[in-house]
Structure 1
Amino acid sequence: MNSITTTPKRILFLHPNFPAQFRHLATVLGNDPNFQVVFATNRNDVEIPGVFKAIYNPARAASPQTHHYIRNLENAVLTGQAIYRICQELKAKGFIPDIVYGHSGWGPTLFIKDIFPTAELICYFEWFYHAHGTDADFDPSDPMTPNDECRIRIKNAPILIDLYSCDRGLAPTYWQRQQFPPELQSKINVIHDGVDTNFFIPKPGAKLVLPRINLDLSHVSELVTYVGRGMEPYRGFPQFMESVALIQQRRPNCHVVVVGDDRVAYGKQLPEGQTYKKLMLEKLSLDLSRLHFTGSLPYIEYLQVLQASSAHIYLTRPFVLSWSMLESMAAGCLLIASKTDPVLEVIQDGVNGLLVDFFSPEEIAKRVDEALNYPEQMQKIRNKARETILQNYDLAKLLPQHLEWMLNGKETESQKKRTKSKGFAGNKEWMNL
């Protein structure tokens, strides 16, 4: 890629989990001689050429004696302090950034305007918490308590400070931006991180063989897949497993592959020693010879799972939209997804995916039957799924827009139209602009 600007700029990225949402931005800028790029992070096991990593470590974790409403805030302050100390060291060495771009919520951006008052502060706003109407009270079997309501309100404190102090912000989807206070949404643009559609491509007729983990499903004609960072209610893991029991009863030749770790990435933890995987395996009668748990996979093996998939199940509470859903669409998967708001921004039932009731394993199993019984008819939906990603979420299109917005504060005409429109309004009013 040619140099983006002739004016030398110093960029400071902030995220505890290097490189996270900033991978592609940092890679491009790190390879451009017109930029000096520093990334402050907790993670020291990944490198990007041209990007200097500044490792920070909070002095301690929130005290157990701290009121549980504000432990999240105390951890954010401790993170902010650690970042401040790292920035003092950078400043002493002559590095004063022109732009600081950080993920809001964990605290790294809290004190940037104090240590670097002349820098432009950009915040990545992924989620604003609500006690009612989105993820927290979605499951009627998990009712809210007064403590939950109060704790969730306070959880937004570091995000609200960032909303006040930042110069600009960005959210990855219109529905996610819609969760932020209406009076502050004008500060937040919408650009998705983007999907690498040159990597996530369909491979018709692919069979799943992963020698590294001794998994050979080359003989399988019906393969249902599920992907998640963890195995948790937020991503519908219990309902998925209940649907697997039904699918196995109905389809004796169907195999199921589950990608992800046996942990909770989002939501409440179970008591020590318990996991949702263990809970569901004990609860359900399953043929374990046709149910395969791979753990986390390298990207190339993860892609192979998607390419071999006959039907891919994605369930989510009204919460942050997973990269994996869009990646599966780019790979041409037949997506069976929950009829929840983040999904409805992307999927139209019967057009580019099949929608189901999050809480209905029976409906999920029926749509799997539909997908597997009529593969030729489903090919149109697969094609449309990839077309959706190519048109609206392609990294090759979005990365230049993201860089232009980040470096120069400019929106494309398409972005301006979308920002001024209603954005997310139940489905795709904003798409195809």
Structure 2
Amino acid sequence: MNILFLHQNFPAQFRHLASTLAKDPQNTVVFGTTRKNGSIAGVNKVIYQPTRQPHPDVHYYVRPLESAVLEGQAVYRVASQLKERHKFEPDIVYAHSGWGPGLFMKDLFPNSQYLCFFEWFYHAHGSDTDFDPAFPCNEETEAKLRIRNAPILIDLYSCDRGLTPTHWQQQQFPPEYHNKLTVCHDGIDTNFFRPKSDAKLVIKPTDPIACPSPLDLSEVDEIVTYVARGMEPYRGFPQFMEVVEQLQQNRPQCHVVIVGEDRVAYGSPRKDGKTYREHMLEQLDLDLTRIHFTGHLSYKQYLIVLQASSVHVYLTYPFVLSWSMLEALSTGCVVVGSKTQPVEEVIQDGVNGILVDFFDTKAITEKVNNVLDHPEQMQMMRERARQTIVENYNLDDLLKTHLAWMQGQ
């Protein structure tokens, strides 16, 4: 079987699929991407690059659409060379929808099955956009988001089948396309993300700016952890830092470990040019000797952080659910999470985690304090947290389901 994966990043959600398919000598696996770094054994990586950026004179509502068209055009050119020079004709084209890589694949490969990974459908109201009062939605945002869905709608129409990771994410797509969408998470490696009862947090981060020296918290009993790609409102970073300030006032032995980069992955940067980390450090009265920013970590170091966590805080707008929350549950963390729809799909309050209002920093602090005050009483919750992931999000199980879905079974 010939398979063509398409994703801006590499390998992203397709890592396990591509790796597994490439192990079969009867398969030829090609991965089209803009990212030059990284490799997977047996996977033929092909780099594509749009010829230019969206034109500055194009109406700003339309720039994301033009960007998607340019990306789709770049993929079409590279895939045409595969077809003409190497006689590569995929049985399956599997693209990440939204950024445009697969827009024209049905034209180039009309006999191929065109599959799409659908992560998000944009709404001005009722999900992430109008969730935070600090960032009110206006008519400009409404108009931009309506056009932002254009490449996604083209994929919804063109694809033979689509997949989305959670029921909450599926609900964001137009109901008339739900019959095309299967819910299947990409899966969590529960053999890797597993508890370790005697874990000690000793790591040497590789980001010399975020963490210039090794981090040794082996003698610390209270470790509050937070993980996100970026430090931004979408993942509740400002609220979390307010919680840290409150915790430090009454818990002199408590340390906080923040994994992630000082950037915005989702949403908009601050208009004053400062990062949200810089802003919060200026606004709050904090003991910086007990707050540890690690920057980006390797998976092994990240695992150590989760295994040593006394309590893990996960906050999110009603948006795409982070892998990190599921990985924390798999590792047996006590997760204090926001009472928002993506989190509520996984966590049952008081059973396998703790839910609290996203904006109520006092309540979040109280929940964290309660976990830290009663560590022995949290063992059952830790076990149920892991059980939730093992039973419903285990990579080995979902990978089989995902592969069967790809082949139309």
Note whether the superposition's TM-score is higher than 0.5. Answer: yes
Alignment-mate amino acid for residue 370 of structure 2? E
Partner of 2:29: 37
| SS at structure 2 position matched to 1:143 | coil
Question: Is 1:78 the equivalent of 2:65?
Answer: no
Which of residues 181, 203, 206 in structure 2 aligns to 1:210? 203
The CA deviation string for residues 239-298 of structure 1, in whole angstroms up to 9 with x for no partner, is 000000001111110000000000000001223641000000000000000000000100
Matches within 5 A, 1:180-219: 180-212=173-205, 213-219=213-219
Deviation at 1:95, TM superposition (A): 0.2
Partner of 2:166: 173
Deviation at 1:111, TM superposition (A): 0.3
Deviation at 1:400, TM superposition (A): 0.7
Which of residues 25, 38, 47 in structure 1 aligns to 2:17? 25
Partner of 1:154: 147
Partner of 1:66: 58
- Residues in 2 aligned to 1:63 and 1:283: alpha-carbon distance in whole angstroms: 39
- Residues in 2 aligned to 1:271 and 1:214: alpha-carbon distance in whole angstroms: 34
- Residues in 2 aligned to 1:50 and 1:222: alpha-carbon distance in whole angstroms: 44
Partner of 2:344: 344
Question: Is 1:302 the equivalent of 2:302?
Answer: yes
Deviation at 1:205, TM superposition (A): 2.5
- Residues in 2 aligned to 1:53 and 1:34: alpha-carbon distance in whole angstroms: 18
- Give the number of aligned pairs: 401
Matches within 5 A, 1:87-166: 87-92=79-84, 93-166=86-159
Deviation at 1:64, TM superposition (A): 1.7
Deviation at 1:320, TM superposition (A): 0.2
- Residues in 2 aligned to 1:211 and 1:17: alpha-carbon distance in whole angstroms: 26
TM-score of the superposed pair, with normalisation by structure 1: 0.92
- Residues in 2 aligned to 1:371 and 1:230: alpha-carbon distance in whole angstroms: 26
Partner of 1:355: 355
Structure 1: segments with no counterpart, 5+ residues: 1-8, 411-433
Partner of 2:283: 283
Deviation at 1:78, TM superposition (A): 0.2
- Residues in 1 aligned to 2:198 and 2:369: alpha-carbon distance in whole angstroms: 19
Alignment-mate amino acid for residue 57 of structure 2? Q
- Residues in 1 aligned to 2:262 and 2:162: alpha-carbon distance in whole angstroms: 33
Deviation at 1:141, TM superposition (A): 1.8
Deviation at 1:118, TM superposition (A): 0.6
- Residues in 2 aligned to 1:105 and 1:224: alpha-carbon distance in whole angstroms: 35
Partner of 1:254: 254
Deviation at 1:313, TM superposition (A): 0.2
Partner of 2:8: 16
- Residues in 2 aligned to 1:46 and 1:255: alpha-carbon distance in whole angstroms: 34
Identify which range, 203-212 or 381-390, moves more after superposition.
203-212
Alignment-mate amino acid for residue 38 of structure 2? V
- Residues in 1 aligned to 2:310 and 2:198: alpha-carbon distance in whole angstroms: 10
- Residues in 1 aligned to 2:54 and 2:271: alpha-carbon distance in whole angstroms: 21
- Residues in 1 aligned to 2:396 and 2:329: alpha-carbon distance in whole angstroms: 16
Matches within 5 A, 1:369-388: 369-388=369-388
| SS at structure 2 position matched to 1:260 | strand
- Residues in 2 aligned to 1:61 and 1:298: alpha-carbon distance in whole angstroms: 32
Partner of 2:209: none
Partner of 1:244: 244
Give % identity.
62
Partner of 1:413: none
The CA deviation string for residues 297-339 of structure 1, in whole angstroms up to 9 with x for no partner, is 0000000000000000000000000000000000000100000
- Residues in 2 aligned to 1:306 and 1:117: alpha-carbon distance in whole angstroms: 46
Question: Is 1:389 the equivalent of 2:381?
Answer: no
Alignment-mate amino acid for residue 153 of structure 2? L
After TM superposition, the runs of 4+ consecutive aligned structure 1 residues lying more than 4 A away are none
| SS at structure 2 position matched to 1:255 | strand
| SS at structure 2 position matched to 1:21 | helix
- Residues in 1 aligned to 2:107 and 2:269: alpha-carbon distance in whole angstroms: 36
- Residues in 2 aligned to 1:231 and 1:358: alpha-carbon distance in whole angstroms: 15
Deviation at 1:350, TM superposition (A): 0.3
- Residues in 1 aligned to 2:281 and 2:319: alpha-carbon distance in whole angstroms: 26
| SS at structure 2 position matched to 1:229 | strand
Alignment-mate amino acid for residue 348 of structure 1? Q
The CA deviation string for residues 366-399 of structure 1, in whole angstroms up to 9 with x for no partner, is 0011101111111111100000000000001110
Deviation at 1:137, TM superposition (A): 0.2
- Residues in 1 aligned to 2:204 and 2:404: alpha-carbon distance in whole angstroms: 42
Partner of 2:208: none
Partner of 2:328: 328
- Residues in 2 aligned to 1:133 and 1:105: alpha-carbon distance in whole angstroms: 20
| SS at structure 2 position matched to 1:29 | helix
Deviation at 1:197, TM superposition (A): 0.4
| SS at structure 2 position matched to 1:363 | helix
